[in-house]
Amino acid sequence: MKFWRALAAVVVLTMMAGGIAMAQVVLAKDSKSLYRIVVPQKAIPSERYAAEELQRYLERISGAQIANRDGQ
C-alpha cells in the first residue's frame, strides 16, 4: 500500500510542479513524450523503484518510453 501511495504522490507532485492542470496534460502522443521522470540523486531505493514502475506503466498505457533520470 505504501508503494502505491508513493507512486501516486510522485505523479501528482510532478504535475503540480509543472503548474499544469490535470485535464490539459498529454503525457504522450504518437508514442513520444516530452516529459521525464526525475528522481532525486539521494532517493531511497523505494523511490527509485517507484519511478521505474511509473515508467513501465506509462509505457504500457501510452506506448511511449518516458525517460527516467536523476535530479540535481
Q: What is the largest CA-CA distance in the chain?
A: 33
Write out pLDDT tens, residues 31-69: 888 889 999 989 999 999 999 999 999 999 889 988 888
Residues in Cβ contact with 36 at an 8 Å cutoff, skipping those fewer than 6 apart? 66, 67, 68, 69
What predicted TM-score, i.e. pTM, was given to this entire model?
Answer: 0.60
Cell (9 digits) for 50: 517507484
Q: How many CA atoms lie within 13 A of 3 on its CB side?
A: 9
Tell me, what's the pLDDT at 49? Answer: 93
**Rounded to whole angstroms, how far apart are CA atoms 8 and 19?**
17
**Rounded to whole angstroms, how far apart are CA atoms 12 and 51?**
13
